[in-house]
A and B are shown apart, each in its own frame.
Chain A
C-alpha cells in the first residue's frame, strides 16, 4: 500500500509541475503579489505551496512571460507580477494545447483498452 502511495506521489508531482504553470499564468492578467496569488488559487481549490510558487514566479519572469514591479506604498513592500505580452500569447496557446490534451485523454479513459 505504501508502495502505491509512493508511486502516486511521484506521478502527482510530475503532473502538478506542468499544470501549476498554467494555473499561475491564468491568474496574472491582473497584477498580484506572491501571497495574494497563493490565496486566490487556494480559493479556487488549486493548492500550491508558497515555497514552490515564489521560485516559479521568478523563473517565469526571467523567461519573459511575466513582468514585475515593486510596490513600496503599502505597509510592507511587495513585488507584483503581471503577464507580459509574450506571456499572454504563450498562455492563450497553452490553454488550447491543454484543452486538446484533456479531450484526447478523456477519450482514452472512456475507451480503456479491451473493456
Chain B
C-alpha cells in the first residue's frame, strides 16, 4: 500500500543511510502485524491503514526517537564561543565597511552617491559573508569535533572541587570590551594596510578634490613592511584572543603575552634597524606638492617632527609592549593578594 511506503519513507529519510534499510524492513513488518491484529488480513482499506499510522504517530517524532539525539548545526557546548566570535566578526566587518565609506567620501566628495551605493552593496555582501563564514567555521568544528567533545565531557565526570577557578578579583579580570576592541583595531589596520596602503600618508587636495598622497611608507619596500605589519598585528590578535579565552589574568597568560610581545618586539627592532621602511623622499615630496616651502620655518618644524615621530613611534610601541606584560603581571599579583 502506497500510504505505508510513504510513512516509512518519511521516517527513514531522516535517519543515517546505514540504518535506513533495516529500519524500513522492521517498520513494514510492524505495520503489517498491527493491521493483521485488527483482523484486516487480506484486504485492507485506506482508513484502516490510516488508523494504524495514527497510532504510530508523527514520523518526525518517530525518527527523532530512532536517532536518540537532537540535531543541530552548532551545539550548546560551542554556542557561547560562536556568539562571541560572531560579534567580533560583525563589528570588525561593519567598521571596515564604514571606514572605507568615509575614506572614499574624503577622497572624492563629489561622488558621494556612488560611495553610498557601494557602502550599501558592501554591507549587503559583507555582513552575510562574515556571518556565513563564522557559522561555517563553527559548523565544521562541531561536525569534526563532536566525538572529541564527547570524550572531553566524559573526562569532566571525574571533576574535583579543587578544579574550580578562583573568583577573579575585579582588578585581575580581563575586560572583554578592551580585548574585543583590540581585535577589531588590529583587523582594521591589517585591512587598511593590505588593501589601501597607498592611501596611508598625507593627503593632498587640489581644488577641493583629492589629488595625490604623499605616502608615509617606502613603497619600494611595500612587501617587506606589509609582512611585518601582518605578523605584528596577527600576533596582537592571537594575544587578545588568549585574553578572552582565559577571562582573567593568570601567570600563564602573562607568560603567553610575554612570548608574543617579545616576538613583536624583535620585529620592531628589525624595523628600527631598517629605517628604509619610511618614505625617504617624504620631505622633498611635500615640497614638490607645494604644501610647504623648502627651508621655511614650517618646513623645519615638519622635518623635525617627521624625523622624531618615525623614531619615537617605535620606541613608544616597544614601551607599550613592555607595559602590557608588566600590567598583566601586576594584575596577577593584585588578584592573588586579595584572595
Contact = CB atoms under 8 A, between A and B. Distances in A.
Contacts of A64: none
B68 interface: yes
Contacts of B65: 51-52, 55-56
Given A51-B56, A51-B62, A55-B62, A34 B30 contact: yes
B29 interface: yes
A59 interface: yes
Interface string B48-83: 000000011100011001101000000000000000
B68 A55 contact: yes
A78 B33 CA distance: 10
A58 interface: yes
B25 interface: yes
Interface in A13-70: 33-35, 39, 49-52, 54-56, 58-59, 70
How many residues of B sit at the interface, in one of the four size bands? 20 to 34
Interface string B22-59: 11011111101110010000000000000000011100
A34 B23 CA distance: 12
Interface residues of A, number: 18
A40 to B, nearest CB: 13
A79 interface: yes
Contacts of B19: 58
A76 B29 contact: yes
A101 to B, nearest CB: 23
B30 A35 contact: yes
Given A54-B66, A76-B29, 12 more contacts: A33-B29, A34-B30, A35-B34, A39-B37, A50-B55, A50-B56, A51-B55, A51-B57, A51-B62, A54-B27, A58-B66, A76-B28
